[in-house]
Structure 1
Amino acid sequence: MTAAAQPPAADQPPAAGPPSRAEQAQGWRAPGQDAGWLNPLHERFLLRLLVRKELRVRYRGSMLGMLWSYVKPAVQFIVFYIALGVFLELNKGTPAYAVYLFSGIVVINLFGEVFGNATRSITGNAPLVSKIYLPSQLFPWSSMIVALVHFVPQLLVLVVGALLFGWLPSPTALVAFGLGMLILLVFTMGLGMLAAALNAAFRDVENFVDLLVMVATWLSPVLYRITMVQEAIGGTIWWWLYQLNPLTIVVELFHVAFWRYSPEVVEGVAQDPSLMAPGEPFGLWWAGLLIAGATFVLGTVVFERSTRRFAQEL
């Protein structure tokens, strides 16, 4: 009998192969096989561990801890309110300008944190990505959940501020808020996964993302009314591109949810109809949803095709 035909020794383990049907029925799978973009749903326990890890690492040695979720937006609001509301007198032409301003700030803060954290999620967890097997999709999704944890205190402050100006929850406000959150998270996660895949190969991407967040703050109606933009470039291709910006759509949805129907604003619109944004109450929400969905699909496809190269690139 030749060596090639000899049976394996009794003390040698059988060669590794694909899992049998019995093993598959028990939930076993071969190493490296996962559920792809559905991993955040299938690996919820690991996702919770990553979220806890990110929160602990971020506030390790910090005296204020989660209070930074209040400090940063508070400083932003004060600076913008004084510079634009007082010095440029935008508060005189915009009823309840404080609520208008802060409802846009919370959108940009959530966009910036999800986008930035997701972009750095692979490179920031390089020891885990390169040394052990973990579904790579968990890292950007855990970054999004951490950003939502920081978003909740800001949202509570916004709700309290809106209530002080006479705002009351309504079905219109709830629908606008839900649409805004859906478009924002889907769009930002698509961008975040795309940027995370590119950042693993080219570290310049994270610097570009920081620049993009700063530009987005001024290219969305956060600090000024959208009617001002319409007066300046209305009827041109730039006006339509401005309106199709998903962040513009989300910010306007937040304005509808928390600012538009407060008594002071309703009275101001009765005296000056130009305060009403075009397309209210929900504007181009359908376009924002389509663009967000397309961005999410693109980001997911690019991320999935890049996962096997992450360990080598890091």
Structure 2
Amino acid sequence: MSSSPIDDKKRRNNIDGAHSKIAAHPAIIIRPRKSIDTSDLLEILQFRTVIYFLIWRDFKVRYRQTFLGLLWAILQPLASMVVFSLVFSRLAGISSDGVPYSVFVLAGLLPWGYFSHALASASSSLTNNRDLLKRVYFPRLIIPMAAILSCVTDLLTSLGLLLLVMFALGVPVSLNIVFLPFFLLIAIAAALGAGAALAAAHVRYRDVGYITPFAIQILLFLTPVVYPSSLIPASWRLVYGLNPMAGVVEGVRWCMLNIPPHPEMIVVSAISTLAILLGGLYYFQRSERIFADIV
């Protein structure tokens, strides 16, 4: 049955009307960003409530169904302090720069324990939240960021333990403690940069889950936690400072125990941390477009 000229005219008018409506409301095309800009940070701030709930969830899961709860954050560095004191001080006779070795090693374990725990948590954070990645939109960086920030409670608890041990052994707190937040921020920034890169790589390569604990163990002995940095030859200190935690441990001991630091190591570690942070965030941003597809 053929259509009449009047029906054809109405059909054309309807099509023209639809086209005019589409032109009046242009489509929004979403493309992945090619670089990190301030809008990324602003978007994360808009989702700050999500960060809060993820931090609170990670904290509860960590100590759920545990008898001692938050006390584990004290027992772990305390046990490490005892073991290291027996092995490296009593048996190996390693120097502690004029302060009791137990305080010396605990001051090193304070930032190192946070960094190692935060790095391990962040590296597996995306794969542990695969269902969340596939169902809800939010800045993906929030997940490793929440994993890293949730470990700050353990860091503060360890700081309280260090102050208690210093008081028990009669070691005075240095006035340099006012600079302590600066070095702790460097540790957090290093954990965020390295953790974001490892989390993104873990989505593609599950080998990262096996490599990360092994790498953390090796990095422990490349960081002056159980020995003073004065044992490092002067010609190697700049290379040694490429490890961001070397400068952090050095700075924390200066802040808490007034042990003279090596400024060149701290400067190199700060620069290295900035490079790791920017590089890790860039790699994460370049990889996040495929997270939901392959996680």
Give the shorter-chain TM-score range. 0.7 to 0.9
Q: 1:139: how far off?
A: 0.5
**1:223 corresponding residue in structure 2:** 226
Q: 1:135: how far off?
A: 2.0
**1:208 corresponding residue in structure 2:** 211
Task: Quote the Cα distance in structure 1 between the aligned partners of 2:43 and 2:174.
Answer: 36
What is the correspondence of 1:143-154 to structure 2 with a 5 Å cutoff?
Answer: 143-154=147-158
Task: Quote the Cα distance in structure 1 between the aligned partners of 2:187 and 2:163.
Answer: 19
- Judged with a 3 Å threshold, the aligned counterparts in structure 2 of structure 1 residues 313 and 35 are, in CA distance, closer, same or farther, namely farther
Q: 1:90: how far off?
A: 2.8
Gaps of 5+ in 1: 9-13, 20-29, 262-275
Q: 1:57: how far off?
A: 2.0
8 Å CA contact 2:174, 2:257 repeated in 1: no
- Structure number, greater radius of gyration: 2
Paired residue secondary structure (2:211)? helix
Q: 1:283: how far off?
A: 4.3
Q: 1:228: how far off?
A: 1.9
- Judged with a 3 Å threshold, the aligned counterparts in structure 2 of structure 1 residues 206 and 37 are, in CA distance, closer, same or farther, namely farther
Task: Quote the Cα distance in structure 2 between the aligned partners of 1:174 and 1:207.
Answer: 38
The one of 187, 195, 198 equivalent to 1:195 is 198
- Judged with a 3 Å threshold, the aligned counterparts in structure 2 of structure 1 residues 166 and 239 are, in CA distance, closer, same or farther, namely closer
8 Å CA contact 1:99, 1:258 repeated in 2: no
**1:241 corresponding residue in structure 2:** 239
**1:11 corresponding residue in structure 2:** none
Does residue 139 (structure 1) correspond to residue 120 (structure 2)? The answer is no
Per the normalisation by structure 2, the TM-score is: 0.83
Task: Quote the Cα distance in structure 2 between the aligned partners of 1:95 and 1:37.
Answer: 43
Per the normalisation by structure 1, the TM-score is: 0.79
Q: Deviations over 1:161-184 (max 9, x none)?
A: 2234331341x3322x23311221
Task: Quote the Cα distance in structure 2 between the aligned partners of 1:205 and 1:218.
Answer: 20
The one of 83, 96, 99 equivalent to 2:87 is 83
Paired residue secondary structure (1:290)? helix
Q: Deviations over 1:91-127 (max 9, x none)?
A: 6874321111001111111110111111111111111
What is the correspondence of 1:1-314 to structure 2 with a 5 Å cutoff?
Answer: 1=9, 2=11, 5=15, 7=17, 17-18=27-28, 35-90=39-94, 94-164=98-168, 165-170=170-175, 172-175=176-179, 177-230=180-233, 234-235=234-235, 238-260=236-258, 279=262, 282-314=263-295
Letter in 2 for 1:207: Y
Paired residue secondary structure (1:209)? helix
- Judged with a 3 Å threshold, the aligned counterparts in structure 2 of structure 1 residues 228 and 290 are, in CA distance, closer, same or farther, namely closer
Task: Quote the Cα distance in structure 1 between the aligned partners of 2:96 and 2:143.
Answer: 45
Task: Quote the Cα distance in structure 1 between the aligned partners of 2:238 and 2:27.
Answer: 57
Q: How many residue pairs align between the two structures?
A: 274
Task: Quote the Cα distance in structure 1 between the aligned partners of 2:76 and 2:225.
Answer: 16
Task: Quote the Cα distance in structure 1 between the aligned partners of 2:54 and 2:100.
Answer: 40
- Judged with a 3 Å threshold, the aligned counterparts in structure 2 of structure 1 residues 90 and 308 are, in CA distance, closer, same or farther, namely same
Task: Quote the Cα distance in structure 1 between the aligned partners of 2:204 and 2:187.
Answer: 26
- Judged with a 3 Å threshold, the aligned counterparts in structure 2 of structure 1 residues 84 and 51 are, in CA distance, closer, same or farther, namely same
Q: Which segment drifts farther, 55-64 or 67-76?
A: 55-64
Q: Deviations over 1:3-28 (max 9, x none)?
A: 771656xxxxx989449xxxxxxxxx
- Judged with a 3 Å threshold, the aligned counterparts in structure 2 of structure 1 residues 135 and 118 are, in CA distance, closer, same or farther, namely same
Root-mean-square deviation (Å): 2.7
Letter in 2 for 1:311: A
Task: Quote the Cα distance in structure 2 between the aligned partners of 1:40 and 1:149.
Answer: 21
